[in-house]
A = this chain, B = another copy of it.
Amino acid sequence: MATSKAAGAQPLGNDRVARSKDAVLGAAYAMMSEAGLSGFSIDAVSRKSGVAKMTIYRHWPSRAALLLDACSRMSPRAEIPDTGKFVGDIRQLALLLAKSMQTGRWAQLLPSIIDAAERDRELAALHARQHVAMTTAFRTIIERAKTKKQLAAAVDTTTLIALIMGPLVYRRWFSRETIDDSFVDAIVKNAILLAARKRPRPA
Contacts and interface: CB of A to CB of B under 8 A. Distances in A.
Contact of A162 (B161, B171, B191): B171
Q: How many copies does the complex hold?
A: 2
Contact of A166 (B131, B158, B168, B197): B168
A131 B163 contact: no
A111 interface: yes
A26 interface: no
B196 A193 contact: no
A118 B114 contact: no
Interface in A158-203: 158-159, 161-163, 165-171, 173-177, 183, 186-187, 189-191, 193-194, 196-197, 200-201, 203
Secondary structure call for the A interface: helix
A175 to B, nearest CB: 6
Nearest to A189: B194
Nearest to A167: B166
A135 B173 CA distance: 14
Given A169-B169, A186-B159, A200-B193, A174 B131 contact: yes
A70 interface: no
Nearest to A191: B190
15 contacts: A36-B116, A36-B118, A114-B114, A131-B176, A156-B186, A158-B177, A162-B171, A162-B183, A167-B167, A169-B170, A186-B194, A193-B193, A193-B197, A193-B200, A200-B201
